[in-house]
Amino acid sequence: MTDLLKTRFEDLVSEFRELDDRDAELELLLELGGSLPLFPEAKRTEENKVHGCLSQAWVVPSLTEEAPHTLRLEADSDSQIVAGLIAVLIVLFNGRTPTEAATLDARGALKEIGLERHLSPQRRNGLYGMLRRVQTFAKAFA
């Protein structure tokens, strides 16, 4: 199982680039989704739900208590593919300061992996909804 908090985004990009077909990419995405930490049932609320996603997905951004405050994402989905996308976002955003997260070209970073070409428009909408939630949160504290 992958430790998402120790995985660097650059390493994830390299891992995806080494794969030669869509099935291998989806398999890695599913594996990453299986690495999500347990998500508390109490956080599966309407307020935390990401709308626009075909599946059910919940994203809860917060800041660490110790300085410098950095972003921490808790999230889950009832879809393994979406859970994999969430795992990619956790690797991308966790540990960044609010300013770094707010100004990050997240769509550009995700294009480096190349996942968007395999996502349906509805899954892409859900992914962008999760990105907006995280970056809106980060901007509030930047």
Exactly one of 36, 53, 101, 127 is catalytic; name it.
53
The residues near 117 (Cβ < 8 Å, ≥ 6 apart) are none
* Exposure b/e, 122-132, CB count within 10 A at least 16 = b: ebbbbbbbbbe
Instruction: Say whether 132 is catalytic.
Output: no
DSSP state letters, 1-20: ---TTT--HHHHHHHHHH--
Q: Are 132 and 51 in contact (CB under 8 A)?
A: no
Structure tokens at 138: 């980060």
SS3 123: helix
Residues acting as catalytic residues: 53
